Amino acid sequence: MTARGIDQLDILIVTGDAYVDHAAFGPILIARFLEGRGYKVGVVAQPKWDDPSDIARMGAPRLFVGVSAGNLDSMLGKLTSQLKTRSEDQYTPGGERNQRPNRATLVYSNLCRAAFPGVPIVLGGIEASLRRIAHYDYWSDKVRRSMLLDAKADLLVFGMGEKPAWEIAQRLDAGKPLSALRDIRGTAHVLNSPKEWRPFADEPSRNVKDGKVLLLPSYEEVRGDRLAFAKMTGTFQKETNPGNARPLLQVHGDQAVYFNPPAHPLKEEEMDELYDLPFQRLPHPTYKQGVPAYKTVKDSIVTMRGCFGGCTFCSITEHEGRIIQSRSESSVLREIRQLSRMNSFSGTLTDIGGPTANMYKVRCKSEKIETACRRLSCLHPKVCSNLNTDHTPLLDLLGKVRKNKDVKHAYIASGIRYDLAEKSPEFIRVLAQHHTGGQVSVAPEHNNPDVLDKMKKPPIEAYERFVSSFCDASEKAGKEQHLVPYLITGHPGSTLSDAVDLALYLKRQGMRPRQVQDFIPTPMAIATAMYHTGYDPFTLEPVYSAKKLREKRMMKALVFYWDEQHWPLAREALLSLGKGHLIGRAADCLVPPDYGKTKSTAGKRSPQGPRSGPPRGPRSGTPRGRKPN
């Protein structure tokens, strides 16, 4: 600050991640964006949280403090689906653990309140965004209040934060009080007494500037009543299109949280502006060890944000929005030229993509229809006839990337939405010929039609068609390439028996999956509401969810039918289902007998199953970092 002649910051950003000056790190992107708009912005990364002095090392800012847990929900980053501590934190130098507190947003916000009395506190980032209404927290098995109330902050920014953060900065800079910041899109604020919120609650159809206020079931209702929670989720999910979303209100005791409609998506020139900001593309020079997540993004290029897939286990749509926001071709090519001038660049672009690589510049045919639409997915139950599925902009972009003489390889490691890719055989051909480093990640997730329907994923036949097209294209390109299937076990709607069927399907197909995720109910996901309530939030039909950790482990073990480490638990699962006939050496068996322990029981019913300990397989120690498709 001294070197730059800064006496006082305008805005301070506190983040639970390490400082990596790269657009893939959300709080840093916001900091650079605000700096680009003329504000003096400082960042405190991973402050100590035992007293407020560390967070206050750059002094109190003039306008506001922005608080974020970082790129991941802090509980998701710390614990696995089996509630075990992950072996490393990908967003910390050296992958070290315990560099951020649990529910970091709350802890940092309270520290800021103590360190900077009177300075407005604004929450942002994925943790605050996805915990903005009453939500189910898997790690404590509780329905928790809106994080805004527990953090005692002034405002909460949800979704992608550039526009709301800039609007907040401008209004505060103009000397407006916090009470004049209550109508900013993409923000929520607290109404502290019934006198303030009662007019909305008594008249849910009351007109406000952007439409009508919709009353969600109260925190008290959804905490005690699972059906009310499911209904809340169904209502809330239909209010996420910025084109038609209404303001929402949720009462918590004497207080209430008021949610403005989501911010409008960024236009192409606004997206370009973000990626033209002067990122160093490096971790802070004081770090002695590498930041694992940086290695993943170091040589990758983001082309778009948002996702219209609407997969129920994923919250990208809720956070980034379902309207795709793409960069211009020239902006992407400019960034690649900058990257290729860095000494560390080897000539390989490890990824060109975003949440879904082949959604670049794909949108609804009509802005008017898009604005009015309340569908949760443009792809499920089938590709919407209004979707312009043209892959030409992506193909043109990739063609120009290939012409850059400094780029030897340009891979697509982001997920491919295969029901969309099917619409462009040329894309599949180009992908197989030029943009695959031998492996392509695709996510059938399961094979059971009912489970896939609960996930809002296409039927397995769509995956099979993609496999066939990709293999043909690879053969024509003279390349031996593989598809890496991602699968989820334990998703709501799936049973142990379904896991057996999935394993048998995989075996018949000759697939030995390595990427299998035991379902984690993350805050605000639709599948989380199914898991917690036992209801589908849209049909209100009952949905089974495996809740016992051992049952979830068994499901995963079955899908790893080919891996010896998982056999004891897979055998136990088969015996518990009376499917001992699937234990054996025959081609239609899943796992071989355990001659040492289970030979005598193989093929027989055994209510308890053999005594076997937990799987000795590799611990699911890291966030998958996977794409949501």
Binding-site ranges for ligand SF4 (CB under 6 A): 308, 364, 369-370, 373, 375, 378, 384, 386-387
> In sequence order, what are the beta bridge partners of 165?
none
Q: How far is the CB of 341 from ligand SF4 (least distance, A)?
A: 39
CB of 527 to ligand SF4, least distance (A): 20
Which residue, 111 or 316, is less far from ligand SF4 as judged by CB?
A: 316
567 close to 511: Cβ distance less than 8 angstroms: no
Specify the residue, 323 or 506, whose C-beta has the smaller distance to ligand SF4.
323
Alpha helices in 116-261 (DSSP H): 125-130, 147-151, 162-173, 194-202, 219-224, 226-237
Q: How does DSSP assign 140-179, residue by residue?
A: TTEEE--HHHHHT-SEEE-SS-HHHHHHHHHHHHTT--GG
Residue 501 burial by Cβ neighbours in a 10 Å radius (0-12, 13-18, 19+) = middle
Question: From the CB of 80, what's the least distance to ligand SF4, in Å?
Answer: 34
Residue 225 backbone phi and psi in degrees, to 5: -135, 110
Residue 386 or 433: the one with the smaller Cβ distance to ligand SF4 is 386
- Between CA 29 and CA 19 the distance in angstroms is 11
CB-nearer residue toward ligand SF4: 364 or 527: 364
At position 281, the amino acid (one-letter code) is: R
CB of 159 to ligand SF4, least distance (A): 17
Which residue, 26 or 321, has its beta carbon nearer to ligand SF4? 321
Of residues 148 and 373, the one with the C-beta less far from ligand SF4: 373
Judged by beta carbon, residue 240 or residue 474, the one nearer ligand SF4 is 240
Contact 188, 258 (CB under 8 A): yes
Tokens representing residue 323 in the block: 């309207």
> Is the CB of 82 or the CB of 244 nearer to ligand SF4?
244
The answer to whether the beta carbons of residues 21 and 282 sit under 8 Å apart is: yes
Query: Residue 398 CB, nearest distance to ligand SF4 (Å)?
Result: 24
**CB 368, min distance to ligand SF4, A:** 10
| Nearest distance in Å: CB 543, ligand SF4 | 23
CB of 377 to ligand SF4, least distance (A): 7
Euclidean distance between CA atoms 158 and 537, whole angstroms: 22
Which residues are CB-contacts of 272 (< 8 A; sequence separation ≥ 6)? 327, 328, 330, 331
- 600 contact partners, CB below 8 Å, separation of at least 6: none
Q: Which residues pair with 14 in a beta bridge?
A: 44, 67
Shortest Å, Cβ 238 to ligand SF4: 12
Q: Which is nearer to ligand SF4, 309 or 521 (CB)?
A: 309
Token pair 């040589």 in the structure block, residue? 299
Nearer to ligand SF4, 364 or 432 (CB): 364
Query: Do the Cβ atoms of 250 and 257 come closer than 8 Å?
Result: yes
Cβ count near 562 (within 10 Å): 16
Nearer to ligand SF4, 215 or 373 (CB): 373
Closest residue by Cα to residue 503 from 452, 457, 561, 550: 561
CB of 498 to ligand SF4, least distance (A): 28
Residues ≥6 apart with Cβ < 8 Å to 501: 447, 448
Residue 13 exposed, middle or buried by CB count within 10 Å (0-12, 13-18, 19+): buried
In the complex, least distance from residue 364 CB atom to ligand SF4, rounded to whole angstroms: 3
Q: How far is the CB of 529 from ligand SF4 (least distance, A)?
A: 21
* Of 251 and 324, CB closest to ligand SF4: 324
Say if CB 95 and CB 292 are below 8 A apart.
yes
The DSSP code sequence of 5-66 is: T-SS-SEEEEESS--EESTTSHHHHHHHHHHHTT--EEEEES---SSTTTTTTT---SSEEE
User: Distance between CA 393 and CA 395 in Å, rounded?
Assistant: 6
Decide whether 308 or 418 has the Cβ nearer to ligand SF4.
308
Q: Kindly report the number of other CB atoms within 10 A of residue 125's CB atom.
A: 29
User: CB of residue 356 vs ligand SF4: minimum separation in angstroms?
Assistant: 14
Q: Shortest approach of ligand SF4 to residue 455 CB, angstroms?
A: 17
Q: To which residue do tokens 């079931």 refer?
A: 217
Select 21 or 419, whichever has its Cβ closest to ligand SF4: 419
Residue whose CB is less far from ligand SF4, 299 or 370: 370
Distances (CA, A) of 80 to 75, 330, 397, 609: 9, 40, 38, 26
Smallest distance from the beta carbon of 212 to ligand SF4, in angstroms? 21
* Interatomic CA distance for residues 345 and 355, integer angstroms: 23
